[in-house]
Structure 1
Amino acid sequence: MDAADDTTTAALVIGMPLLLATVALVTWRVTGHALRPVEEIRAEVAAISDRDLHRRVPVPATHDEVARLAETMNATLDRLEASGIRQRQFIADASHELRSPITVLRTQLEVALAVRDPELWPELIGGALEDIERLQHLAADLLLLARIDAAQPTRAEPLDLTVLVREVVDSRLGDRVPVEVRLEPGVEVTANALWLGRVVTNLVDNAQRYADRRVDVTLRSTSGSGPRPHVAVLEVVDDGPGVPAADRERIFERFTRLDDSRSRDHGGAGLGLAIARDLSAHHGGTLTAEDSARGARLVLRLPTAHRP
């Protein structure tokens, strides 16, 4: 027994360090091999700058958590790249839109400065004031889009959409095209009154810009699906040339005008419908262009306010 005890002690004294060293070596090698893809992902992400958003991290063929991490990272880079492209396009479009009225305004002021006939000054100054007003509207629209993109929180409260639509339409005195309304009473939503009023105003403005003789505004509530059993549906229909099916999504893009010259004549910058859709999405709703017998038919859908 003493001999066996001595042998065991000697074996443990000699073998335990060797066993621990072997386990440590194997653990280090296995862990290093398992974490090598993570290090490659880290190195690639560290090398990506704001000018290299097209680059992607390598996805290992292991189909495990590390592979899913790489796929998630690439999806995030896709969103960042798309956001950067949208920002650059927005800046380019905004610069183009601002350059045109500024150029015209400068020309009008230079002509007014050169003309010595006081009788022509009112006409020249009036044209300059029109371009200044257009610049003011464009700057306000750009500021609103920046606030929407920044997802700044707004105060939302129960709102009678029927009353809001009625107030927006009644405040439009002397419009070129009359607006006929058919409003279901008591349609309530949870929204910011100022922003939702802007949505209604932009939809009516767009309809009147292209309508021939009339604009119809209809509000009703319908049964929905999911946690919101009822949906408020606002339809704005004009009798103008309408929107081709291929362009029904493109009209909601920023600075998009299907008829550029006509839109400029009517003072449109191509931001009204883009703002309306962004504000609709901000309130949990949708804004779409749908089929119509004649003209354009824009449909706003919003979840109704919850009633206990």
Structure 2
Amino acid sequence: MRRASVRLRAALGATLVVALALVAAGFLVVATLRGGLADTARLAAENAARGTAAQLAGLSDTRAGRADGLDADEPVQVVAADGRVLGASDPLRGHGPIAGFARPDPPGEDAEHQDSESDSDSDADADADSDAGPEPESARGGAAEELDADSESRTLSFPVDDDGEVTYDKEDITGTQEFDVAAVQGRTGDGTPVVVYSGASLGAQQEAVSTVTRAMLSGLPVLLLVVAGVTWLVTRRALRPVEGIRREMSAITASTDLARRVPEPDARDEVARLARTTNETLAALEMSVERRRRFVADASHELRSPIASLRTQLEVAAAHPELLDLDEAVADTVRLQTLAADLLLLARLDAGERPAEGRVALDALVREQAAQRGADRHPVRVAETPAGGEVRGSAGQLSRVLANLLDNAQRHAASEVRVSVRRDGGDLVVEVLDDGPGVPAADRERIFERFVRLDAARSRDEGGAGLGLAIARDVAERHGGTLRAPAPSGGGGRFVLRLPLAGS
């Protein structure tokens, strides 16, 4: 089952659920049908018994056998208090009282008289039973019990012949059949207490239940096959786009062509959303791979220049020591070291390195960075702002961000660089301004890409490798902040660093 397809599992699961539901419903239907038919038979038996009892009210006990209800084919019997059978229908004629029911109490007599009569009743019963012949198994036994209502019903079995008619002829008995027998107390016209027993066959009930059961058992496999087939077809159709996505993903994996996309169904369902998400993932992966490819190419290009320059100077120095330009060699070495450090930091950021958890006073970092540039050609002027407040993160990485922003501003400034720190809601905002030519609107996002240098800063003598602003934005985003280059209110360049304040 572990290797079974989704279609097979769905078909089997749906079939199992439907089968359980149908079986439960079948049991409920059969139980309801059986109960309803049993109630109908019980009501019919009771009505017949009451009808016969009503007729006996106009007859004496000697004429009780002439009641109209005793000419029925169903078992009907009239029994006196002393156990005498006063009348019976053809199926029970000549047999003793129906067993399993109590006999009526003679009215107006006390318990002592009842006890004295019990022995004579027993003798009379024995004489009547001996005159009527042996009592069949279905009509024997049953302890006497008091009737605390006008009627009582029991389910009893009687011997029947091939036609389902009650018979006590040993040659005609082919089986037994259950009857719902109702017992109703009454009196004859001369005041004799009697019990009228009337039975209604449960054969129709049993036949109806058997028919319904057979119909459900025969229809269940067909219905389950239909459910399984429909579920299979519906699942197959629903999963067809998924198979298309799988094939295309397999082809993309084999070809390593990340420009390909999986087909997107027209429907607005889960499969369509899966296809769109897959294509978005492929697009992000393609962009990431392309970005990494350009990064490697640009890094190789940027490393090649200082390494080649340094190698040339060393080779010249080896051949002509007097021609060695030591300052240039040191500058190339420093440039190479700085570039390697930048590449290492970017690699750590790309790997998802989280900044160290600490509380950093951003205004103190700004003043520290400005103080280090006091002797530069374009000094940094810090605006007096009562900012205060701290941010969470790495003091070293945030210092790197500020240094890169100030270096970039000094590189492009005409005369001065201004920096300020202020609160803005739940953020601390650092704004760096210079009076240089500024950043063209079309390049205000492009300058944050790696190894991007605008035409005015292509000289490696004046500009860096194009990683400073990219590193600054990546570090800001890792600290939950942003770094943008919005349009300045006046001229020059403007960079805005926004970081969330540290909570208490």
Aligned to 1:226: none
State which of 171, 175, 190 in structure 1 corresponds to 2:392: 190
State which of 11, 28, 37 in structure 1 corresponds to 2:241: 37
The answer to whether the 8 A contact 2:381-2:418 is kept is: yes
Equivalent residue of 1:298, what SS? strand
Larger mean CA deviation between 10-19 and 272-281 belongs to 10-19
State which of 315, 318, 321 in structure 2 corresponds to 1:110: 315
Aligned to 2:266: 61
Equivalent residue of 1:48, what SS? helix
The answer to whether the 8 A contact 1:184-1:221 is kept is: no
Equivalent residue of 2:470, what SS? helix
Following the alignment from structure 2 to structure 1, what is the Cα–Cα distance between the partners of residues 210 and 426? 85
Identity over aligned residues, as a percent?
Answer: 59
State which of 402, 409, 425 in structure 2 corresponds to 1:207: 409
Aligned to 2:461: 265
CA deviation vs aligned residue, 1:208-227 (integer Å, no higher than 9, x gap): 112232211111112xxxxx
Larger mean CA deviation between 280-289 and 45-54 belongs to 45-54
Aligned to 1:304: 501
Larger mean CA deviation between 22-31 and 41-50 belongs to 41-50
The answer to whether the 8 A contact 2:355-2:479 is kept is: no
Report the CA distance shift for 1:175/1:262 in structure 2 as closer, same or farther (over 3 A): farther
Q: 1:10 deviation in Å?
A: 4.4
Q: In the alignment, residue 141 of structure 1 is paired with which amino acid? A: D
The answer to whether the 8 A contact 2:357-2:393 is kept is: yes
Aligned to 1:140: 341
The question of 1:15 aligning with 2:219 is answered yes
Report the CA distance shift for 1:245/1:175 in structure 2 as closer, same or farther (over 3 A): same
CA deviation vs aligned residue, 1:109-151 (integer Å, no higher than 9, x gap): 2222222xx4433x2x332221111111001001111111111
Aligned to 2:420: 218
CA deviation vs aligned residue, 1:254-284 (integer Å, no higher than 9, x gap): 1111136654112511111111111111112
Q: 1:11 deviation in Å?
A: 3.5
Larger mean CA deviation between 42-51 and 98-107 belongs to 42-51
CA deviation vs aligned residue, 1:190-229 (integer Å, no higher than 9, x gap): 221111111101011111112232211111112xxxxxx3
The question of 1:162 aligning with 2:366 is answered no
Q: In the alignment, residue 150 of structure 1 is paired with which amino acid? A: A
Equivalent residue of 2:430, what SS? strand
Following the alignment from structure 1 to structure 2, what is the Cα–Cα distance between the partners of residues 156 and 183? 28
The answer to whether the 8 A contact 2:411-2:463 is kept is: no
Larger mean CA deviation between 287-296 and 99-108 belongs to 287-296
Report the CA distance shift for 1:94/1:18 in structure 2 as closer, same or farther (over 3 A): same
The answer to whether the 8 A contact 2:373-2:380 is kept is: no
The answer to whether the 8 A contact 2:362-2:391 is kept is: yes
Q: 1:5 deviation in Å?
A: 5.1
Aligned to 1:243: 439
Aligned to 2:301: 96
Following the alignment from structure 2 to structure 1, what is the Cα–Cα distance between the partners of residues 234 and 345? 54
Following the alignment from structure 2 to structure 1, what is the Cα–Cα distance between the partners of residues 228 and 239? 16
Equivalent residue of 2:237, what SS? helix
Following the alignment from structure 1 to structure 2, what is the Cα–Cα distance between the partners of residues 25 and 302? 60
The question of 1:179 aligning with 2:179 is answered no
Q: 1:239 deviation in Å?
A: 2.1
CA deviation vs aligned residue, 1:72-102 (integer Å, no higher than 9, x gap): 1111111111111111111111111111112
Following the alignment from structure 2 to structure 1, what is the Cα–Cα distance between the partners of residues 339 and 231? 63
Q: In the alignment, residue 420 of structure 2 is paired with which amino acid? A: T
Aligned to 1:151: 352
TM-score, normalised with respect to structure 2: 0.56
Q: In the alignment, residue 34 of structure 1 is paired with which amino acid? A: A
Report the CA distance shift for 1:4/1:56 in structure 2 as closer, same or farther (over 3 A): same
Tell me how many residue pairs correspond in the alignment: 297
The CA RMSD measured in Å over matched residues stands at 2.1
Q: 1:4 deviation in Å?
A: 4.6
The answer to whether the 8 A contact 2:419-2:432 is kept is: yes
Equivalent residue of 1:147, what SS? helix
Report the CA distance shift for 1:269/1:200 in structure 2 as closer, same or farther (over 3 A): same
The answer to whether the 8 A contact 2:413-2:436 is kept is: yes
For structure 1, which runs of at least 5 residues remain unmatched after alignment?
223-228
Following the alignment from structure 1 to structure 2, what is the Cα–Cα distance between the partners of residues 71 and 198? 39
Q: In the alignment, residue 71 of structure 1 is paired with which amino acid? A: R
Q: Going by fraction, where is helix more abundant, 1 or 2? A: 1
Q: In the alignment, residue 252 of structure 1 is paired with which amino acid? A: F
The answer to whether the 8 A contact 2:419-2:431 is kept is: yes
Report the CA distance shift for 1:240/1:9 in structure 2 as closer, same or farther (over 3 A): closer
The answer to whether the 8 A contact 2:391-2:499 is kept is: yes
The question of 1:127 aligning with 2:323 is answered no
Following the alignment from structure 1 to structure 2, what is the Cα–Cα distance between the partners of residues 110 and 253? 36
Q: In the alignment, residue 272 of structure 2 is paired with which amino acid? A: A
Equivalent residue of 2:375, what SS? coil
Q: In the alignment, residue 18 of structure 1 is paired with which amino acid? A: V
Report the CA distance shift for 1:10/1:245 in structure 2 as closer, same or farther (over 3 A): closer
Q: 1:45 deviation in Å?
A: 2.1
Report the CA distance shift for 1:179/1:240 in structure 2 as closer, same or farther (over 3 A): same
Following the alignment from structure 1 to structure 2, what is the Cα–Cα distance between the partners of residues 136 and 158? 29
Q: In the alignment, residue 226 of structure 2 is paired with which amino acid? A: T
Following the alignment from structure 1 to structure 2, what is the Cα–Cα distance between the partners of residues 26 and 299? 62
